[in-house]
Amino acid sequence: MEELVNITIDNQNITVPKGITILEAAKKIGIDIPTLCFLKDINEVGDCRMCIVKVEGRRGFATSCIQKVEEGMVINTHSPEVLEARRVTLDLILSNHDRKCLTCSRMGNCELQDLAVKFGIKDIEFEGEIKQCEIDDLSPSIVRNPNKCVLCRRCVATCKNIQNIGAIACGNRGFDSNITTSNNKSLKDTNCVYCGQCIEACPTNALCEKENIDDVLEKLKDPNVKVIVQTAPAVRVALGEEFGMPIGTNVTGKMVTALKMLGFDKVFDTNTGADFTIMEEANEFIERFKENDNIPMITSCCPAWVRYIEINYPELVPHLSSCKSPHEMLGSLIKTYYAKKENIEPQKIYVVSIMPCIAKKYERQRKELSNNSLYDVDCVITTRELARMIKYANITLDRLEDSEFDNPLGISTGAAAIFGTTGGVMEAALRTAQDILTGKDLEKIDFIEVRGAKGIKKATLNINNKEIKVVAASGLANAQKIMEEIKSGKSDYQFVEIMACPGGCIMGGGQPIKSSKIRTEIDVRKLRADCIYSIDEKSSIRKSHENPILKKVYEEYLESPGSYRAEKLLHTTYNNQNNN
């Protein structure tokens, strides 16, 4: 039975579970204590001192995010001395902050700005020397601006504890304290995999994606270029949040309308590319499974994950599927199949991918992902960047009518939709693999064994009297556990799915940023995932190999999965980047 304690908070007597923090206890009765460095289950260190409270009978202040409640404790969360101490702390933080708020992409979604408004800060009392640090913008995906850093360490905790990367850390002491990298290198010269979880954790704009909006706008103005856009499955279940819509709202039709209003020549669906990925990946898995060749096969859709294995487990790279990721596959088909069909010169096509992921910005520049000296994808923008473009154009997303994706590369299946969440790639591949292996149209569609929030999901499936052991992992700390099993020879998996971001693409580094308060109170992952699965359930076609457009493209152009042309256009190679 749970042990309880009696405490008093702001003259309210309450009974709460023993062992919870003052911050948690206060939330139970609707008292919102301000925080800055706190990030539930990730960073609970009390460094910023914004959450201080006064406990009767004790000297000084207590940090509510780490102080546990005790029997008989009397707490005051907003006495004059508490409020003044918080205000002084906030003033000191602001005194060394680059306060160019009006030109900051986090304007209106900045936890420091929110605190300044809450405390009515109009002037900075402690104006002093402001450090001017060099901005690191050499990475293809992330910009690091130390001048906007508040030393909350949320990024450090996320990178180290959740992703087990440790590309960034806190250096020096006192006034010289800073968030840095080993030997203060650029992120591009570290073991950073560009997952962007540090950006999602940052309360300000000290970390952000490298913006490519201007590149897209420039191409949209060029009458000699066909600008074709494609959108990932996770984008449509999160974009609405940037316009005040509930978390997990499906805005597919409105998103397509907005893209057409922005001037894109064609709006295609990355989900169509995902269906091709499944056809190629399922075929590859079946061949490997029969020959016991580089088993387990590991998915290669996530570029942050691919970079991680290339750097940390180069000896296991042959286990990666040779398939390109869905948006790269679709980009390749746009510049070959579609270009030929429409009699357009491939060099006059500019492919823009809208992704929930900043690692895609890195991926699209890889020389392996090109054909005839043309990159498959020319530009990647995030969900957040698309929202900014829509706002720049004065388009009100929630008022738009729905539109359909353009043909021929705009038809997809429910299997493709679930690519956006952890376990989805595996489930989609299994739907097709089981039909191919059995030669039947099986009724089993939902592989719930690989669904859910758990960081590692294992299952043993029986397909055509063959036992197939699978595992799906999300978050790189979890991926490392699976890799160590494979490396040591202790695993007996045949198929492995890895996504770098905890929860999968729906929680990618390019998705709408949620404050610490929202992340504490709402299960964002679940709401977005529920929407993804709802799209799948409502789809008229739920198996990739039944997509009519896919069948047509194979018949007219690719011949069959794994054919010479399919290998040339839809597959690639990965390599050892341990010394990069």
The residues that are catalytic are 281, 284, 301, 321, 360, 363, 368, 505
What is residue 453's three-state secondary structure? coil
Asked if 110 contacts 119 with a C-beta cutoff of 8 angstroms, the reply is no
Which one, of 325, 316, 312, 323, lies nearest residue 296 by Cα?
A: 316
Measured CA to CA, the distance from residue 97 to residue 92 in angstroms comes to 9
Measured CA to CA, the distance from residue 212 to residue 140 in angstroms comes to 10
Q: Are strands 169-171 and 495-499 parallel, antiparallel or unpaired?
A: unpaired
SS3 content of the chain, % helix, strand, coil (to 5): 40, 15, 40
Sign of CA dihedral 99, 100, 105, 108: positive
Backbone angles phi, psi at 472, to 5 degrees: -120, 130
Q: Based on the number of CB atoms within 10 Å of its own CB, is 63 exposed (0-12), middle (13-18) or buried (19 or more)?
A: buried
Residue tagged 């850093």 (tokens): 149
Concatenated DSSP letters of 508-571: -TTSPP--HHHHHH--HHHHHHHHHHHHHHH-S--SGGG-HHHHHHIIIII-STT-HHHHHHHB
DSSP state of 265: S
Which one, of 223, 277, 197, lies nearest residue 519 by Cα?
A: 197
Other CB atoms within a 10 A radius of the CB of residue 196 amount to 28
